[in-house]
Structure 1
Amino acid sequence: MADEPLFLAIDQGTQSVRAMLFSKHGQLVAKAQQHITPYFSKQPNWAEQNGDYFWHHLGRACQGLWQQHPTLRDRVVAAALTCQRATMICLDEDLQPVRPATIWLDSRRTDRYPPLPFWMQWGAAAAGMSHMLYQLRSKAECNWLAADFPQDWQRTRHFVQLSAYLSHLLTGQLQDAVSSQVGYVPFDHKRQAWARPGDLKWKALTVRPEQLPPLVQAAQTLGRISASAAAHTGIPEGLPLYAAGADKACEVLACGGIRPDVACISYGTTATINTGNAKYVEPMPFLPAYPAAVPHAYNSEIIVQRGYWMVNWFKREFAAHEVRQAEERGIAPELLFDELLDASPPGSMGLVLQPFWNPGVKFPGPEAKGAVIGFGDVHTRAHLYRSIIEGLAYALRHGKDQLQKRNGQTITALRVAGGGSQSDRIMQITANIFGLPAERIHTYEASGLGAAINAAVGSGSYPDHATAVSAMSHRGTRFEPDDATAHLYDRLYKEVYLRMYDRLSPLYRSIRHITHYPKH
């Protein structure tokens, strides 16, 4: 309808920023996209980007939207921002960046962090948390910033997520969404608030309470678009900006992941599997459930670090032919990768990949490395590519098994989003490896839709998130598992994949001791 209200969703991702308009029924009406350079590296393992760089491209994306669709701006009734998570930025007393933002891909560490009282160290050891505590203290951006850049840290009056910084530039108010708090910050995930005084996190981290922003729940207002932001972005001045949350949280919401029997898979740079829950359920002991993009709800998440990053790695190292073909045809190289899947059978003729190129804190373990076993003279690039896709699905199926056990509820539905979900072949592989139907939602822009759902609820278009999800998220193509192929994958998963880590982890430890890589 020509006069139907629209919701503006701004999605500040790792690879691009997108400004999108969604209808009350969840249809993507218009979109403008600005590709960005994810980060620059002054030294190995650094990943940084300037705050004004993000703001500049956010403005260009919004202005591009109005230029392409000038008649739609007057129909916009509310806006929401979703953002890449765990990207931190230091601001001075005038709310200006002290230094570039630290992108979530940055892998710096420090061994110079605040000492803990002996009784806290003893308690962490007794609870089996010593390694987790070491990971927190060594990886936390605030700790290595204080150690390596003490003058910058002394000037830092506000230490916030990129989402808070962009919200401030949009509204003039420094606030952030509860569901954006993912990272090494003193956040109480169960209470969904900053940690109480006396919490161990305040002792383990250098950040202080006054450096952290006020938090609001999803669909609550972050402020209204300021005059300066309106001039920069073209968004109508005074338009309310509602809290949404991190991109993964919004993606899970858009996929209908508000119950523990629905698993949401994201085939993104980081591959994840999530279940939504009204109660707090840690996906693994000592790993928190993150705040959902629904007030006072939680997402239990298993992460495969560097998930679909491996597709980019394959493209860079092994797919020069497809890259050349794609340039000649004017299409993305990934579209040609389905031909590699067609050229290789299920199971990759015995080639099995363990996708732990970048190990996590608990899953699979700190010593893990990637592995491919079963090589023979029959194997080609096509088999290697298929083994990457299958290995990611195996790892996510393992995550599904863990979530079922922790939630005490069987997962009966799979919703799939992210770049990999665009491939029919990958969707079919997912259904076959999980032995469950796999569904897309109706739009590829899942994170944007999740933000739009929060704008719709915040503006009063829907009374609650469940009603909004029912009205705005629709089923797309459904892929049923093939019984014979699912049986083959089930055997490979149980008899090979699940045994790989225990068999190989002693070798990983030896590799690390001999080569001193990776460093921990």
Structure 2
Amino acid sequence: MRDQHVLALDVGTQSARAIVFDARGRLVASAQTAFEPYQSPHPGWAEQAPEVYWDAICESCQRVWAQPEAHPGRIAAVSLTTQRGSVVCLDAQGQPLRPAILWLDKRMQPGLGNVPGPWGWLFRALGVEETIAQFRADAECNWLAAQEPDTWARTRHFLFLSGYLSLRLTGQIRDSVGCQVGYVPFDYQRQRWAHRMDWKWRAVCVRAAQLPELVPVGKPLGRLTPEAAAALGLRADLPLIAAAGDKACEVLGSGALSPDTACLGYGTTATINTVSPRYHEVIRYLPAYPAAVPGHFNTEVQIFRGFWMVSWFKEEFGAAERALAASAGLPTEAVLDDQVRDIAPGCDGLMLQPYWSPGVREPGPEARGAIIGFSDVHTRAHLYRAILEGLAYALRHGRERIERSTRQPIHRLRVAGGGSQSDVAMQITADVFGLPAERPHVYEASALGAAICAAVGVGLHPDYRTAVRAMTHVGDVFEPEPASVATYDELYRRVYARMYRRMRPLYRQLARTAVAG
């Protein structure tokens, strides 16, 4: 058993990875295949051919077996984690009918309004009519039914990307409970499809027969078909163990297993998560998502377009830094980190609110980004540091929401995702939160979380707590600096915490003006 490995398939927005881990959490071998993130036939759309993801998985697997430490014969199980909320329409033969609609797609089907009937009366009385209307407008199936009725009429199976790839791997129309994050009639509290009388069936047009069978995290979704095994370079009949969505697996792979430990995900969407055995809605009427631990929940707060803002800054303002980095053979982020390292905490009075993409409830659909405090001392480097500080402020706000909801103080921070590779971002995080910021021992925390699910699922470890102790370890630790903590605490309480409330009426006016224009 000690010599057996597990294979984690991690499918993101820009690449797919095949990563082999041993039972101690050591990364044995990995391969990554990049692809164009999406096509955008119309402004705001984000689509991708589902086959792109499958081909990238297969290529990554074939490349990983070329590495000397990776042995296909030692693989005990396979697990899969993917981007969340991307949907695929399949016909009766399981073939895609159109490109997948990705999680960052902005198309909407307006005009549906509140749910009709008694549920609608209740939502109106509770003051959440606008939230329900936004849910219905955002639901991809509602857009498909209205705008592509022929395609929707032929859609026999409506799956998340995880369900589509599970089908390609096993031949079964099944998906993990831990991957159900999106606009489908899922009962998040009971972690199953919603009861037939639930309001969600009236809010969206998808029907039960179009949805997959759900399998609990840590249980087999099926076994690799001979065709899938050949494409991946593995033996047939290997079990595919249900894992969870990428964020849930990232939390598990960071070693966050209790409500007092928060995992900050510094990825395209920045998040703060804790794991709880109890269901808590951190923001009222927005659900707690399934965790990568069976029967547990992630109390997640999201900052949409989180560390995407770093890419935005590089593209719009960082031409000089990109050129300097290219000539020195360094990542652009390394050059930017050097430029902002000596800027004092607080950016000489520059403050950024990172709502570059609106939310559903808090922040609401009217939200916009804001930067205040400009003066003649500020440079592009100040703006870059203000982005890092603004994201940390927003996640601290999320921490306070989680603590109020769960009544459980957060004492430890684990920071994962691409942004965690920045020492400056890690130190800012420690100082804004006033807590040590810890990196997991491997950068690929999401894949490691999926590997933990596989390891428990095939008995390499008896339970999740044992597996987490054996397979996750703390890497670098950034201690908070008292003077910086004091500066950030005052700025957060006296400025940042008041910004959204003060700016909200102006955001609403901007939204009305944009619509009128």
SS of 1:311's partner is helix
SS of 1:180's partner is coil
Residues 454/122 of structure 1: CA separation in 2 closer, same or farther (3 Å cut): same
Residue 321 of structure 1: CA displacement? 1.1
The equivalent of 1:79 in structure 2 is 78
The code of the aligned residue for 1:351 comes to: L
The equivalent of 2:245 in structure 1 is 246
Is the deviation greater in 23-32 or in 256-265? 256-265
The equivalent of 1:314 in structure 2 is 313
The equivalent of 2:94 in structure 1 is 95
The code of the aligned residue for 1:139 comes to: D
CA distance in 2, matches of 1:435, 1:37: 39
The equivalent of 1:494 in structure 2 is 493
The answer to whether structure 1 residue 229 and structure 2 residue 228 are counterparts is yes
Residue 343 of structure 1: CA displacement? 4.1
The answer to whether structure 1 residue 22 and structure 2 residue 24 are counterparts is no
Residue 65 of structure 1: CA displacement? 0.6
Residue 345 of structure 1: CA displacement? 1.6
CA distance in 2, matches of 1:292, 1:101: 24
CA distance in 2, matches of 1:71, 1:425: 34
The equivalent of 1:297 in structure 2 is 296
Percent identity of the aligned residues?
53
CA RMSD of aligned residues (A): 1.4
Q: TM-score, normalised by structure 1?
A: 0.97
SS of 2:243's partner is strand
The equivalent of 1:186 in structure 2 is 185
The code of the aligned residue for 1:217 comes to: P
List runs of 5+ in structure 1 lacking aligned partners.
Answer: none
The answer to whether structure 1 residue 173 and structure 2 residue 172 are counterparts is yes
SS of 2:281's partner is coil
Q: Is the 8 A contact 1:114 1:205 kept in 2?
A: no
CA distance in 2, matches of 1:355, 1:363: 13
The code of the aligned residue for 1:219 comes to: G
SS of 1:67's partner is coil
CA distance in 2, matches of 1:71, 1:85: 28
Q: Deviations over 1:211-259 (max 9, x none)?
A: 0000111110011111111221212211111000100000011122221
Q: Is the 8 A contact 1:224 1:239 kept in 2?
A: yes
SS of 2:78's partner is strand
The equivalent of 1:274 in structure 2 is 273
Q: Is the 8 A contact 1:227 1:237 kept in 2?
A: yes
Q: Is the 8 A contact 2:20 2:29 kept in 1?
A: yes
The equivalent of 2:446 in structure 1 is 447
The equivalent of 2:420 in structure 1 is 421
Residue 112 of structure 1: CA displacement? 5.2
The code of the aligned residue for 2:317 comes to: F
Residue 114 of structure 1: CA displacement? 8.9
- Between Structure 1 and Structure 2, how many residues are aligned? 517
The equivalent of 1:159 in structure 2 is 158
Q: Deviations over 1:159-197 (max 9, x none)?
A: 000001001101111210101000111000000000001
CA distance in 2, matches of 1:114, 1:358: 22
Matches within 5 A, 1:30-429: 30-69=29-68, 72-111=71-110, 113=112, 116-429=115-428
Residue 94 of structure 1: CA displacement? 0.3
Q: Is the 8 A contact 2:437 2:478 kept in 1?
A: yes
SS of 1:516's partner is helix
Is the deviation greater in 77-86 or in 64-73? 64-73
Q: TM-score, normalised by structure 2?
A: 0.98
Residue 68 of structure 1: CA displacement? 2.6
Q: Is the 8 A contact 1:112 1:143 kept in 2?
A: no
Residue 319 of structure 1: CA displacement? 0.7
CA distance in 2, matches of 1:490, 1:154: 55
CA distance in 2, matches of 1:116, 1:501: 29
Q: Is the 8 A contact 1:114 1:204 kept in 2?
A: no
Residue 15 of structure 1: CA displacement? 1.5
CA distance in 2, matches of 1:126, 1:114: 15
The code of the aligned residue for 2:330 comes to: I
Q: Is the 8 A contact 2:108 2:137 kept in 1?
A: yes
Q: Deviations over 1:319-375 (max 9, x none)?
A: 111111222233321222211222422110000000001111122222111000000
CA distance in 2, matches of 1:221, 1:397: 37
The code of the aligned residue for 1:175 comes to: R
Residue 515 of structure 1: CA displacement? 2.2
CA distance in 1, matches of 2:191, 2:213: 12
CA distance in 1, matches of 2:13, 2:110: 28
